[in-house]
């Protein structure tokens, strides 16, 4: 019989999940027999992926939170090569799996889950923690129906606010992200979390997402407009609270306090009581310290925070790691967002491609740029179509699509346009992104 791995007082068993930088294993305290989940993180991998700050942030955040509806961190242990996060074991799995296998919940069941979600999220807000990635995959439910919020790798604390008192990192999962986050003009963490809670409530009661489209541009347009169809079979109370939460205007959107006063929400509501307990963190893991705010991170020599879309695949079934420009873009479309007007975008892109000796044609609102290699054998021929889509009056998506031609020349063109328009590499999305959006979510 194979001997089980030991970690101090814990005996490690079967693998519960696996990500890009480690595994989550079932564990048992050999003294008490209590079950746990141990997240095993490979130090070399997180250094290679430049996500050390994300792991530090998750641990620092979980140290602050002791609530029945938040997955509990009991202790952090370490070896020379691994970090071990000893977490509460939730035996029911992800809410995603529950909805996918059993479909929508009744209003009674859904209300109870939503009450627990709001309890947990509002508690986080009271401790200055904004989750910023609330979605089905980051909500666990045990076999007694108790909800637990998990995965705080993208959370924000008060020190991450800029001088305007707002957060500015675009993060979250595409279908759950709030309009003001998409608009990229700064947002309130509590208000954007409320929106994500509304999306979760909708999915719980309807069995499908309120905003969904395989085309990312169309998806973001729907979110910006708050273009949602609320099922007629829901009670008037349920329809009303969903409508008040999924208000695209963050200024008039219902608050956490307002949700707790809503008649539909209050039915059978029994608030949970937070608990106090210290968390042991092994100093060998890494020292926990306050991180600089987001503006300081960009101005310092240290790596900036990774955009959330890169991280989606690290903790869920949705792997979007192929979105970004660091991948080979030679045979794909490229998309990026900009706050410049259509006129300015077209003029600046036309100047760039003309400088690179491309011929420019305008047709049906699109730019077609062509270069032939009749005179220069070392320069590859290429034909590319450029189109600008309006997401909102101050936000546009630019798409570059190669029709035919040399792959390296296309890559050169993309890099030049991104550079001339001062677009951060991580803002460039590959067209293949839409193909990773599951139909049933």
pLDDT, one tens digit per residue, over 10-67 is 999 998 877 666 788 999 999 999 999 998 988 888 887 777 877 887 887 888 788 9
Domain regions of the chain by residue span: 6-89, 95-270+293-316, 322-436
Summarize pLDDT for 180-190 with one digit per residue, the tens.
888 877 888 89
Q: Which of 207-216, 222-231, 240-249, 391-400 has the lowest mean pLDDT?
A: 391-400
Q: Which of 353-367, 380-394, 418-432 has the lowest mean pLDDT?
A: 418-432
Cα→Cα distances 154→72, 81, 160, Å = 17, 24, 11
pLDDT top residue among 294 and 398 = 398
Confidence (pLDDT) at 374 = 56
In this model, does residue 288 exceed pLDDT 50?
no
pLDDT top residue among 300 and 264 = 264
Confidence (pLDDT) at 385 = 87
pLDDT top residue among 423 and 89 = 89
Confidence (pLDDT) at 296 = 36
What CATH number has the domain spanning 6-89?
3.30.200.20
What CATH number has the domain spanning 95-270+293-316?
1.10.510.10
Indicate which residues carry an active-site annotation: 133
What is the average pLDDT value for the chain, to the nearest integer?
A: 77
- The C-alpha atoms of residue 10 and residue 35 are separated, in whole angstroms, by 9
Confidence (pLDDT) at 229 = 92
Cα→Cα distances 126→73, 105, 263, 434, Å = 18, 29, 23, 36
Give the pTM: 0.66
Q: Which residues, 6 or more positions from 63, have their beta carbon under 8 angstroms from its beta carbon? A: 73, 279, 281, 288
Confidence (pLDDT) at 173 = 82
3-state secondary structure of 438: coil
Q: Which of 326-335, 404-413, 421-430 has the lowest mean pLDDT?
A: 326-335
Give 3's pLDDT tier (boundaries 50, 70, 90): low
In this model, does residue 363 exceed pLDDT 70?
yes
pLDDT top residue among 244 and 158 = 244
Confidence (pLDDT) at 211 = 92
Give 314's pLDDT tier (boundaries 50, 70, 90): very low
> Do 9 and 31 touch, CB atoms closer than 8 A?
yes
Confidence (pLDDT) at 433 = 34
Binding positions for ATP: 39
Confidence (pLDDT) at 291 = 35
In this model, does residue 234 exceed pLDDT 90?
yes
Give 332's pLDDT tier (boundaries 50, 70, 90): low
> Do 194 and 254 touch, CB atoms closer than 8 A?
yes
pLDDT top residue among 162 and 424 = 162
- The C-alpha atoms of residue 73 and residue 416 are separated, in whole angstroms, by 46
In this model, does residue 303 exceed pLDDT 50?
no
- The C-alpha atoms of residue 213 and residue 400 are separated, in whole angstroms, by 20
Fold annotation for 322-436: TATA-Binding Protein (3.30.310)
pLDDT top residue among 76 and 408 = 76
**Whole-number percent of the chain with pLDDT over 70:** 75
Q: Which residues, 6 or more positions from 33, have their beta carbon under 8 angstroms from its beta carbon? A: none
**Whole-number percent of the chain with pLDDT over 90:** 27
Confidence (pLDDT) at 197 = 96
Confidence (pLDDT) at 199 = 95
Binding positions: 39
For the stretch 2-8, contacts whose Cβ atoms lie closer than 8 Å and that sit 24 or more positions apart, written own/partner, are 6/30, 7/38, 7/77, 7/84, 8/77
In the predicted model, what is the mean pLDDT of residues 423-434?
49
Summarize pLDDT for 123-168 with one digit per residue, the tens.
999 988 888 889 988 899 988 889 999 888 777 766 666 776 666 6
- The C-alpha atoms of residue 91 and residue 341 are separated, in whole angstroms, by 51
């Amino acid at each position: 019989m194979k001997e089980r791995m030991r970690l101090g007082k814990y005996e490690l068993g079967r693998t519960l999940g696996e990500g890009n930088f480690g595994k989550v294993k079932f564990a048992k305290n050999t003294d008490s027999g209590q079950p746990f989940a141990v997240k095993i993180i490979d130090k070399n991998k997180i250094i290679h992926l430049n996500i050390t700050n994300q792991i530090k942030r998750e641990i620092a955040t979980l140290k602050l939170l002791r609530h029945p509806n938040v997955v509990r961190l009991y202790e952090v242990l370490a070896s020379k090569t691994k970090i071990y996060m000893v977490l509460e074991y939730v035996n029911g799995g992800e809410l995603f799996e529950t909805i996918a296998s059993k479909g929508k919940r009744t209003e009674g069941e859904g209300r109870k889950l939503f009450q627990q979600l709001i309890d947990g999220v509002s508690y986080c807000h009271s401790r200055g923690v904004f989750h910023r990635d609330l979605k089905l995959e980051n909500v666990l439910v045990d076999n007694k129906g108790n909800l637990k919020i998990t995965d705080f790798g993208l959370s924000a604390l008060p020190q991450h606010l800029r001088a305007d008192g707002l957060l500015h990192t675009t993060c979250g999962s595409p279908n759950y992200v709030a309009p003001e986050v998409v608009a990229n003009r700064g947002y309130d963490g509590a208000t954007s979390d409320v929106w994500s809670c509304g999306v979760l409530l909708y999915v719980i009661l309807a069995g499908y997402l309120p905003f969904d489209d395989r085309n990312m541009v169309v998806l973001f347009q729907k979110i910006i407009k708050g273009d949602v169809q609320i099922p007629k079979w829901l009670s008037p109370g349920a329809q009303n609270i969903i409508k008040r939460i999924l208000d695209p205007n963050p200024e008039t959107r219902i608050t956490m306090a307002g949700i707790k006063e809503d008649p539909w929400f209050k039915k059978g509501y029994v608030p949970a009581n937070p608990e106090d307990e210290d968390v042991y963190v092994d100093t060998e893991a890494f020292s926990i310290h306050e991180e600089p705010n987001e503006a300081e991170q960009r101005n310092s020599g240290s790596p900036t925070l990774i955009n959330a879309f890169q991280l989606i695949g690290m903790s869920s079934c949705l792997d979007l790691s192929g979105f970004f420009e660091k991948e080979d873009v030679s045979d794909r479309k490229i998309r990026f967002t900009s706050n410049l007007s259509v006129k300015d975008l077209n003029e600046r892109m036309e100047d760039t491609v003309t400088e690179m000796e491309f011929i420019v044609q305008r047709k049906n609102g699109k730019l077609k740029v062509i270069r032939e290699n009749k005179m220069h054998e070392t320069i590859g021929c290429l034909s590319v179509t450029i189109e600008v889509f309006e997401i909102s009056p101050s936000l546009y998506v630019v798409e570059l699509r190669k029709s035919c031609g040399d792959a390296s020349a296309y890559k050169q063109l993309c890099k030049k346009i991104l550079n001339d328009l001062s677009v951060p590499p991580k803002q460039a999305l590959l067209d293949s992104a839409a193909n990773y959006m599951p139909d049933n979510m």
